Structure 1
Amino acid sequence: MNLSPSRLAAGAASVTVVLWASAFVSIRSAGAAYSPGALALGRLLAGAVALGALCLLRREGWPPRAAWRGIAISGVLWFGFYMVVLNWGEQQVDAGTAALVVNTGPLLIALLGARLLGDALPPRLLAGLAVSFAGAVTVGLSMSGEGGSSVLGVVLCLLAAVGYAVGVVAQKPALAHASAAQVTAFGCLIGAVGCLPFAGQLVHEAARAPASATLNMVYLGVFPTALAFTTWAYALSRTTASRMGATTYAVPALVVLMSWLVLGEVPGVLTLAGGVLCLAGVAVSRSRPRRAGRETPALAERRREPAS
């Protein structure tokens, strides 16, 4: 059975959000043994190796020259800067503040996409973004602890959201010239090169880290990075940046579910309500207006009549 391009894109987006949600569970283990920069570098190196092997198997060459600007910007800001700053910022703020600030990313993508890429902002998309954002904040607030927040942490999370949004918007034009595998592989490699100053920390911490933390770091590189960023790029090449950004609001709901199933953390009523809001907003943002009813035979006949 042949699947339509729209169904394939929807399937690719689903793979992305599931794997990105699973990353939060793995980061809890790896983040306890690795500092933010070392964790980002280790994750990107594992991802670059996996993506390099994929490109060799598919005989993917160098991306065309026209794609390099978008690849470089997304590599520096999304693969490199975003991962380091987000790891650092989430150590400084509670979950509620992180949800509020970081989840402005899809909203920024919608605004930048409309301004720079000419993406449409239909009412359903805007409504879905608003509902999902409310759900993400609800999930974060309900799961926040007593850690408190700092001005530095808020600034870091805001910078992470901006880096994420600009990286996504820059990646979109590159996909018109290069394949999803090329854009992802070289973006990941650029991000890894940018994180090389943390190489000394990575070597030092890897020597002392438990095997479970290192395996989780490798998992983050192979699946939530190499695979999920490739399926993301594939889906992004077939829809607007705004709609793809809205799709990521399914991640908080899936994190709640995975934490329940994997870590045994039973969510409260408020957390579940927030998760439902996230999914409802995604559904609204991805929906399309109903088509008008069929034409009556009389109207169809009048359409075919030549103008007088």
Structure 2
Amino acid sequence: MGSQSSEPSRTKLLLAFATIYLLWGSTYLAIRLAIDTIPPFLMAGCRFLLAGAILYAIGVRNGLPRPPRRHWRNAAIGSVLLFVVGNGGVTWAEQAVPSGVAALVIATLPAWLLLFDWGYGGRKGPKFREAAGIGLGLVGVATLSAPGGINPVGAAVLLVAAVGWAIGSLFTRYSDKPASPVRNSGMQMLTGGAIMVVVGLALGEGERINLAAVSWQSVAACFYLMLAAVVALPAYNWLLTVTSPALVGTYAFVNPVVAVLLGWAVVGEALSGRTGVAAALVILGVALLVWPKKPVAKRAEVDSAISLTPADKVVCRVVHS
């Protein structure tokens, strides 16, 4: 999906939003199934090596120039934060934490992004609504990890993973990198995948894996995760070019709903009252952080004030129709 000079079709927009809503939301369950019989870091490392190779090959086929050494260095740094700490932490934690609950903890990511961007990215201090959103999200996580809730070590690892992803995202945003998001993502996945395989071997996962015992469900989930990385990333990047970041950011509180429902329906993960309360707090908190600041009733006023592009207006009609 590339940048379009004319208004994108409603069908294309709906498909792109469905991709980041449903595909990314389903990856938590896929991780849970993949690590049933494949050790976490080896599984994730192989997934990203395959996805990175595909994305990098797409860049080569499109005639993109060979990246210089500094781009590879920055890709490696970003990959450690995004994939080794971020995704690797989620994958490891799902050995002890239900997939839907893991998605709820990771849904606090917008809060960490804002906090670190205030400190290092030059943003102004938080407004009341943003501070309230961060507070609600963290209270939701505390509700999940209180005594009698989820595994506290797993909860701590998930929080570290969210922080790592936030720092990695900001580093990637401000660092010197290829102009092509596809090429940059491929480089990060290649380096991150290689590092994750090394980490897995260092943790003894090579001795734990039994190829004869690897189930077809785990293999299928691993390939699904690889395809999700290849398909969802271009959809996400395309949406960022044709509509407002606030609308794209709504995936952050749709994904955990999808993950919780799939975990319950497919593998029978419990839907306790505690999980429901925590889900409501986290999703409300994230909604306060990423939802558009201006009400829809004032659309004409907003369009004039911030010069919405025609594509932004199309998305507003799609979302509110």
TM-score, normalization: structure 2?
0.68
Q: Say yes or no: does 1:258 pair with 2:272.
A: no
Show CA shifts across 1:45-89 (max 9, x none): 231233234324433343477755643322121122323333223
Q: How does 1:104-183 map to 2 (within 5 A)?
A: 104-120=108-124, 121-135=126-140, 140=144, 148-150=151-153, 153=154, 155-174=156-175, 178-183=179-184
Q: Which runs of 5+ in 2 are unaligned?
A: 302-321
Q: Partner residue of 1:304?
A: none
Post-superposition shift, 1:216?
Answer: 0.7
Structure 2 Cα separation of the partners of residues 137 and 13 of structure 1: 30
Residues 211, 98 of structure 1: alpha-carbon distance in 2 compared, 3 angstrom cutoff: closer
Structure 2 Cα separation of the partners of residues 102 and 269 of structure 1: 20
Residues 78, 240 of structure 1: alpha-carbon distance in 2 compared, 3 angstrom cutoff: farther
Structure 1 Cα separation of the partners of residues 142 and 247 of structure 2: 20
Q: Partner residue of 1:301?
A: none
Letter in 1 for 2:218: A
Q: Partner residue of 2:319?
A: none
Q: How does 1:235-274 map to 2 (within 5 A)?
A: 247-263=251-267, 267=271, 271-272=275-276, 274=278
Helix, strand or coil for the counterpart of 2:37?
Answer: coil
Post-superposition shift, 1:236?
Answer: 6.2
Structure 2 Cα separation of the partners of residues 46 and 145 of structure 1: 39
Structure 1 Cα separation of the partners of residues 283 and 26 of structure 2: 17
Q: How does 1:62-73 map to 2 (within 5 A)?
A: 62-63=66-67, 70-73=74-77
Q: Say yes or no: does 1:37 pair with 2:41.
A: yes
Post-superposition shift, 1:211?
Answer: 1.7
Post-superposition shift, 1:168?
Answer: 1.0
Q: For the Cα contact (< 8 Å) 2:83–2:189, is it kept in 1?
A: yes
Q: For the Cα contact (< 8 Å) 2:98–2:263, is it kept in 1?
A: no
Q: For the Cα contact (< 8 Å) 2:110–2:286, is it kept in 1?
A: no
Helix, strand or coil for the counterpart of 1:249?
Answer: helix
Q: Partner residue of 2:186?
A: 185
Aligned-residue CA RMSD (Å): 4.4
Post-superposition shift, 1:201?
Answer: 2.1
Post-superposition shift, 1:23?
Answer: 1.0
Q: Which runs of 5+ in 1 are unaligned?
A: 295-308
Structure 2 Cα separation of the partners of residues 257 and 100 of structure 1: 12
Show CA shifts across 1:94-124 (max 9, x none): 7899678655543221111122222354444
Q: For the Cα contact (< 8 Å) 2:84–2:192, is it kept in 1?
A: yes
Structure 2 Cα separation of the partners of residues 261 and 227 of structure 1: 24
Post-superposition shift, 1:217?
Answer: 0.9
Q: Partner residue of 1:82?
A: 86
Q: For the Cα contact (< 8 Å) 1:30–1:213, is it kept in 2?
A: yes
Structure 1 Cα separation of the partners of residues 41 and 248 of structure 2: 27
